[in-house]
Structure 1
Amino acid sequence: MKKKLGVLLAIVAMLVTVIGCGSNNAGGNNSGSPANNSAPGAEAPADTSKESYKVAISQVVEHPSLDAIREGFLAALKDAGIVEGENLKLDYNNAQGDPTNYMTIAQKIAGDKYDLVLGIATPSTQALVSQVKNSPILFGGVTDPIDAKLVDNLEKPGGNVSGASDTNPEAIVQLMDFIAEHFKDVKTVGVVMNQGEPNAVIMAGHAEKALEKHGIKLIRASATNTSEVKQAAESLVGRADALYTTLDNTVVEAVSTVIQVANEHDIPFFSSDRDTVEKGAFATVGFKYYDHGYQVGEMAVAVLKEGKQVGDMPVTVPDKLDLILNLKAAQEQGIEVTDAMKDLVKDKENNLLE
């Protein structure tokens, strides 16, 4: 009996020893645990990357510049390993230029939870900011984020909103200076614009101030929807020595009609974006909207994979400006392209369009 009792006590002692060792390992000193590789008191860096992401996009209308923003944005995500159909669930919404759709789309997005929301152009972003409070918001294709009341500080916006403005006022000044320097007969510049689009009003104001320094007058022709754009352009024939368009979504969507008027009447046509020059305007000082979208996409990657707060990210503006000339459009509009004009183009391979 004593012998059996001794064996039993020995077994109990062994179990206590095993349990004690197991408790020590559970406390985090296991050599296989990540914490064992850190210095005492140090915290391992937070890994905010996820297996999948949910992103919503609200785009005001389809046209080449805005489509390029979206494409560049998604390309930046893809380059960072966030790929639609694999680990990215994308909710893409296009308002088709209908103001009643801006709020409807924003309310729908606000009713769900997204890892990130992208607004493309001012009206769509304004609706998103008014409704979406539970997701970080980035924007692209916005002319003046402060005037649009999206943010109140470009360096540190705060809240859940930031992004990239597609306008550097210096680009407008450079383009107006180019007109004044190389088109001595131009005394009036006509701008087709939707007075209801804040970005168009702001840019036209910048252009007017820049032209005033050269004694050139800006004439506005209003178009409230795409069907009125051609009529507005035609109203400038005989009154304007040159035509100009801003980053006006209404006008850009129907810009082929402005090009048609410019070509038929040999009127030099200047635009605020590269895509319109590629379509048939003569010149702009600008950048690629794909690159602009890619820049916003890089901000999105920082939010999604690095855990950065959008409110701490400065609003950016295009900084790689260059004169872009369409030589074929010059022929259509009766423009003699001089060597002095060509010499102003920094990247002649990509920005002298044949």
Structure 2
Amino acid sequence: MLPFDNADDPQVRQLWPAFKQRLRELGWVEGRNIQFDVHFTTQDIDRIRVSAAELVASAPELLVVWSNPGLAALKLATPTIPIVFALVGDPVGTGLVTNLARPGGNITGFQNFEPAMGGKWLEILKEIAPGLRRVGVVYNQNIAANVDLLRNVEAASALTGMTVTATELHNASDIERTLTEFAQVPSSGLIVMPNPLNTRYNEVIVGLAARLHLPAIYPFQLDSEKGGLVSYGFDTIEQQRGAATYVSRILKGEKAGDLPVQAPTKYQLVINLKAAKALGLDVSPQLQQRADEVIE
């Protein structure tokens, strides 16, 4: 169950093939010994609940889900069918599992950003654009992990001397209005939180941030590759490969509740020097040396 419109979404095009490729490496070949029934739910809560009920009613051997709301819906829908999640934030704090080391029950998987990442994004943004005095955060208040990340941004703001203004994006029409309002205040920057809407419209956000001269930090490498100034986040491909490995182990007889929930182990800092130049920013050699990738 994937929180996007369809298979053409850039995130789906990047991650779904990586997931299936790892399964093929482990001997699971679509059409031969494994079948996929993919439901695209967007962020609509009603649609998520309907899809969860439909998937459980079809009695699959295993369920895979990529979002907090989707995982919450599946947890309510079945206490028995194994569930493997990815791209889920703070599963213990949100009550989706009780323990990371041994989650028990029928759920396990791979969490994404820990709350402390919010402070790290602010720190990196301030380092790449030292003149910033204010940062706008675009987030989804219905995603508990986004709220926790925002709290950490706000806590870190006192150390950087920056003020924080948070705004929720509900749909594509909110993007231009919100970013334009942020840009009207001098010395402003932007933190883009990881959620399905921000990911779906990442090209729109990246383009507007550039046009409005808003230095921005993004959660995924793909964002910087599409022209975003800087991104810092976990290796999403590696996480999908890990989720596929868990699927294989469960299909071969292991219990989901015995497999530990895993946090990201590899993070990537990507800097787009072309975007920096367009913003009039001089990225220090020290920061460039720390980056995992520098796009020129």
Q: TM-score, normalised by structure 1?
A: 0.77
Q: Give the counterpart of 1:81 among 27, 33, 46.
A: 27
Q: How many residues align?
A: 292
For the residue of structure 1 that corresponds to 2:160, the secondary structure is coil
Residues in 2 aligned to 1:184 and 1:196: alpha-carbon distance in whole angstroms = 32
Q: TM-score, normalised by structure 2?
A: 0.91
For the residue of structure 2 that corresponds to 1:286, the secondary structure is strand
Residues in 2 aligned to 1:284 and 1:301: alpha-carbon distance in whole angstroms = 31
* CA displacement at 1:279 relative to structure 2: 1.8
* CA displacement at 1:66 relative to structure 2: 4.8
For the residue of structure 2 that corresponds to 1:94, the secondary structure is coil
Residue 221 of structure 1 corresponds to 167
| Letter of the structure 2 residue corresponding to residue 87 of structure 1 | N
State the structure with more CA Rg.
1
Residue 78 of structure 2 corresponds to 132
* CA displacement at 1:155 relative to structure 2: 1.4
For the residue of structure 1 that corresponds to 2:190, the secondary structure is strand
* CA displacement at 1:171 relative to structure 2: 4.0
Residue 248 of structure 2 corresponds to 301
Residue 108 of structure 1 corresponds to 54
| Letter of the structure 1 residue corresponding to residue 231 of structure 2 | T
Residue 251 of structure 1 corresponds to 198
The change in CA–CA distance for 1:148 and 1:226 in structure 2 (over 3 A counts) is farther
Q: Determine if contact 2:113/2:234 at 8 Å carries over to the other structure.
A: no
| Letter of the structure 2 residue corresponding to residue 258 of structure 1 | I
What are structure 2's unaligned runs of at least 5 residues? none
Residues in 1 aligned to 2:189 and 2:53: alpha-carbon distance in whole angstroms = 42
Residue 311 of structure 1 corresponds to 257
Deviation digits for residues 138-163 of structure 1 (CA, Å, limit 9, x no counterpart) = 10111121233211211111100011
* CA displacement at 1:329 relative to structure 2: 2.1
Deviation digits for residues 192-240 of structure 1 (CA, Å, limit 9, x no counterpart) = 2232232322222222222322222211122222321222111211236
Matches within 5 A, 1:311-350: 311-345=257-291, 347=292
Q: Give the counterpart of 2:4 among 61, 77, 92.
A: 61
Q: For the aligned residues, what is the CA RMSD?
A: 1.9
Report sequence identity in percent: 24
Matches within 5 A, 1:1-354: 58-62=1-5, 63-239=9-185, 241-305=188-252, 307-345=253-291, 347=292, 351-354=293-296
Residues in 2 aligned to 1:65 and 1:208: alpha-carbon distance in whole angstroms = 28
* CA displacement at 1:170 relative to structure 2: 4.9
* CA displacement at 1:129 relative to structure 2: 1.1
More deviation, 260-269/177-186: 177-186
* CA displacement at 1:84 relative to structure 2: 0.8
